[in-house]
Structure 1
Amino acid sequence: MFRESDTDYRVRKSGHELPVIAFAPISYPKSVDPKLSSYFGEEFGLLWKEIKYAGVKIPTEAWSSKEALLDEAKKKDVDLLVFGKVSESDTGWIFRFQLKDPVDDSIFGEFEASFKKPVSSEESGTWTQAIFWKSSDRIISLESRQTTVPVWERKPDLSVIKESVNKSLRGSLNISSSSVDTEVFWKGKSLGNTPLTNVSILEGIQEIQFVLKGKKPVTRTLQIRAGKKSSLFQEWEEDRTLGSAKIISVPAGLSVSIDGYKQGETPFYRSSLTPGAYQLELVKEGVDNNSLVYYEGMLDVKPDQVAEIALPYSGTGLLSDPEFWKPSGDSGFSAFGPRGLEFAKKKNLSNGWNGAYSLPFVPEELELEGYFLLPVDHKEGAVALTFHLPGFALGLQAGKENVSVFQFPSDGKTIATYKYKDIDKDIGRPFSFRASPKEKKLFLYLGGDLVWEGNLPSGGTWSVSVLTRGEEFKEKTPLKDLKILYKGYK
């Protein structure tokens, strides 16, 4: 089950009991002398003493290089990096801290603190300094004196810091099943009935048990990566004359109503549905009954099938959302890793496409945007990103130096091939599809330039796929980023 990652040392078989933390050096304004900076350091040190962790030091010069910092963090198996910035105002100093993942710079948490400059004796604090003389065999105290120092204006909330630190050891897990009566257990304790969303769970290899009355308990094993979201679905053998439904949104939390009755929230799963057409509403509920209907449509349930629909109305970070994707490919192919879409193979694959298809999503005015990998990250292989519409598909196939535009149905020829500009090596390789049902048009852009325009098919649902070829296999992360943004949604 356990598979090490060449690019992410935090993919572990088991996690740490205490988080391993390294603190970045803070650059102070010129007005802050060494004594005052030492005082600030001691004050924050007292705060961190309230938090259980293992501290390690990273050489100062390593913090100025991302590669050197990652190398040092890997050597010391660091869970969390703490970065601090200080700014000075007329009344004092403001400190802003970010708690980051050492591998991908994702933020576990942030907090602020401030000190007030002393204006009168009532607004100042005292700091006792002891001066020592050290000889070859002893240390002698010479004197002790007090210095006027700033006082706290706003102390950080320790509970916020502790929660952020805790995230560096845990991931989140969405757990669902084809039956809402399924009870879930972890380490012998019940987590409740499915569906369960954003369950905080320790990193490493974990076992989840599913229990349903009348069925033999099932234990599933999965790998949790701290700070990342994973998904687990248990499908029970059901009456094949009935159907099921899976409804998700990005972000989650939309209210789901079927035939006028509220049934739950996204992500939503329901089995044992009588085949037929159901009226579906997805609603964003607000305060004072100020709710917004985000989608109205029909949900067509068929026997022994799962009716699926997605509304990624603000779908950022789609590559890391396993709920949004369905894998496709040979038996030796794996589409998912701890960080989302991460292609891997256990054996040589046959010629053809392997990857993942999205759930069908709502066809409204939207932009599908993303970035292909830079040459240093892409290395070898080919990646195809395809926008699927009823009876038509438009896609991009990217290699290390070129990207080609293709469509289906076609005569077997590419529409055009483009070479990346040198500047793209610094800013990334952006692409975007813009679908406008009002104009009945579909537009494709590369690097901000319109390269294709055509008619937008009507009806049905849309989907997107990210694929690689068995004979030109692209390992690990296929894209730098992918998001879907619907127009007019809050």
Structure 2
Amino acid sequence: MRYVFFLVALCISCASVTQIETLKESVPKPVYRALEHGVSEPQPSLVDYKERLASKPTPSFILNWSALPNDLTASDLNFLEDKILTNHSRFGKFIRLPQDRKATVEELKASDVDVILSAKVERADNQLKLSITYLDPILGSEFGSSAYVFKFESEDSMKSKNKKLEVYQYKNGLIPLRLALTSYWSEAFSPKDTEIQAIMEATVRGQVSIFSTSPGTLINLDGTDIGKAPILNYPVLNGKHTLAFSKPGKDPELRKLIVRGGKKSRIFQEWSDDISQGTLFLTSYPAGLEVIVAGQKKGKTIYAESGVPYGSYPIQFIRSNATDTYQYAESPLAVRPKGISTLSLPFALEEGISWEAEDFWSVSSGSPNFSVNFTGSLTFQKKQELPTGWHGVYSQNLIPDKIESTLKFGTSTELNGKFGFLISDIEGKSVLVVVDKTDFHIVKYGNGETDAPVHVSYRWKTEEPEKGRTMSWTTDPEKQMLKIALGGTTVLEIPWNFKVLWQIAILTPHDSFLSGNPLRGIKIHYPDMVKFEEKLKK
């Protein structure tokens, strides 16, 4: 008995949280609220200076040496820099910042830098190889790469190439001319001007894809007709723009948007009179899985299709090669009129709140005073007081299966308000975890409930700033259960419906608004699919 008591005491002391008196409070159930589109003025991000209202046609760039040979001379380095600047200054403006260290965000913002040329030099035999990677200064994403190769020419090699003697007539005699340079670097390979130009232009242009529930909707951008929906990856200069949608029998509808250089945007236009068709939007993380809709191969994720007749469609996510086809998941999806029907398979989503996963989320607020940004990490902002309720982001519909997901967030001192993490099925059953500094309140909602009392409350025992705090949720299809844990402590385990689609959300309430980053990160894994993917790669 003493051993048993010792083990129980040890487990209690290792627990991340301790149960406290349940908060005597009823919590309104979060509800997704889409913003009604109109001509409201979009606002640029406070943390991403590349989101601009005024268009900038010419990119600004800096040069950073990421790796240099130890024996590279100063004159050789100057030669390489001159070569880079000569080729790139035709298509951008060079900003000189310290090249021996990483520039700070403040320095980049002050100089309005659009792209960092990260240069690496390697020496092999009598050659220098110069590799350049073009990096987004805020997101860290790559716009492309280029390479140069230079060959060392010595005096002996130059003599062997010169078969004729050049002379200079001086007074009454001829004086043989000697080579002024005893050695130099000759250019053996370099990128074409058109290649450099394309990369540099990509740093100040975004790509906009436009979909409509009525295929053939006319699209006008800033007064110029650009085609009919759907339009895919249309290049648009950074800055604020106005889209106009029109079709027979309807007044044009306007939508204003901010285009950021180097990012893709997707715009969906839902017409109120489209009572028989909607839009499909299918994603996977990582992207690249093939999708089959009602038995027809449609393309690879990320995939969108407008003008789809309403009804239920079987959706398959597969990967195929020359000989085999492997199905990752299958689920029915109901297409509803006048709306967007989403389905996602984030089987290995590592950076769930970064800019790469922005398509996974939809903003929920109903107010133009609330804004969301995914630069670096998910950020909440507000311009004015917000309507009563929860504001944040909802995920796409998730395929039910075995899932292991972890959220990481900061210490209580990092949070300037409350935030909630919601897990729900499309029939309405939900679990909300409300994080209030050190305290965590768990609320359970049944189908049709609009509010519910706090089920149980916990308090985090010890905080470590570097590690932060973690919350995990896992699902077990065999037991049909959902489990939530704070740190290493299971705080809720309930039956869960595996026959309908799920959704998650990250939210903050209007009366205790969290400004900034609610989370440090979120990962979502479908572990069986991750293992299968690893086998395929082998």
TM-score (norm 1): 0.78
RMSD: 3.9
Amino acid at match of 1:7: V
Between the aligned partners of 1:118 and 1:375, the Cα distance in structure 2 is 63
Classify the secondary structure of the residue corresponding to 2:401: coil
Q: Which residue number corresponds to residue 405 of structure 2? A: 368
Matched, 1:355 2:392: yes
1:235 to partner: Cα distance: 0.8
Q: Which residue number corresponds to residue 228 of structure 2? A: 193
Q: Please say if residues 326 and 358 of structure 1, whose CA atoms lie closer than 8 Å, have aligned partners that are also in contact.
A: yes
Amino acid at match of 1:354: H
Between the aligned partners of 1:256 and 1:77, the Cα distance in structure 2 is 40
Q: Which residue number corresponds to residue 309 of structure 1? A: 343
Between the aligned partners of 1:441 and 1:268, the Cα distance in structure 2 is 32
Between the aligned partners of 1:149 and 1:394, the Cα distance in structure 2 is 70
1:346 to partner: Cα distance: 3.6
Between the aligned partners of 2:68 and 2:438, the Cα distance in structure 1 is 46
Q: Which residue number corresponds to residue 387 of structure 1? A: 423
Q: Which residue number corresponds to residue 38 of structure 2? A: none
Structure-to-structure mapping, 1:233-312, within 5 angstroms: 233-238=268-273, 240=275, 242=276, 244-250=278-284, 255-262=290-297, 266-271=302-307, 273-275=309-311, 277-284=312-319, 286=320, 288=322, 290-301=324-335, 307-312=341-346
Of 59, 71, 95, 1:56 maps to 95
Q: Please say if residues 244 and 307 of structure 1, whose CA atoms lie closer than 8 Å, have aligned partners that are also in contact.
A: yes
Between the aligned partners of 1:464 and 1:114, the Cα distance in structure 2 is 50
1:467 to partner: Cα distance: 0.3
1:289 to partner: Cα distance: 6.7
Q: Please say if residues 230 and 322 of structure 1, whose CA atoms lie closer than 8 Å, have aligned partners that are also in contact.
A: no
Percent identity between the two aligned chains: 23
Q: Which residue number corresponds to residue 76 of structure 1? A: 111
Between the aligned partners of 1:124 and 1:36, the Cα distance in structure 2 is 22
Structure-to-structure mapping, 1:26-425, within 5 angstroms: 28-49=68-89, 51-59=90-98, 64=101, 69-89=104-124, 92-115=127-150, 121-122=156-157, 145-152=180-187, 155-156=190-191, 158-238=193-273, 240=275, 242=276, 244-250=278-284, 255-262=290-297, 266-271=302-307, 273-275=309-311, 277-284=312-319, 286=320, 288=322, 290-301=324-335, 307-315=341-349, 317-319=351-353, 320=355, 321-329=357-365, 331=367, 333-337=369-373, 339=375, 342-372=379-409, 378=414, 380-389=416-425, 393-394=430-431, 396-398=433-435, 402=438, 404=440, 406-409=442-445, 412-418=454-460, 421-422=463-464, 424-425=465-466
Q: Please say if residues 117 and 150 of structure 1, whose CA atoms lie closer than 8 Å, have aligned partners that are also in contact.
A: yes
Unaligned runs of 5+ in 2: 1-40, 162-177, 446-451, 534-538
Between the aligned partners of 2:230 and 2:159, the Cα distance in structure 1 is 54
Between 1 and 2, higher relative CO (CA 8 Å, sep ≥ 6) is seen in 2
- The change in CA–CA distance for 1:55 and 1:358 in structure 2 (over 3 A counts) is same
Q: Please say if residues 20 and 55 of structure 1, whose CA atoms lie closer than 8 Å, have aligned partners that are also in contact.
A: yes
Of 59, 62, 78, 1:19 maps to 59
Q: Please say if residues 44 and 258 of structure 2, whose CA atoms lie closer than 8 Å, have aligned partners that are also in contact.
A: no
- The change in CA–CA distance for 1:350 and 1:244 in structure 2 (over 3 A counts) is closer
Amino acid at match of 1:312: P
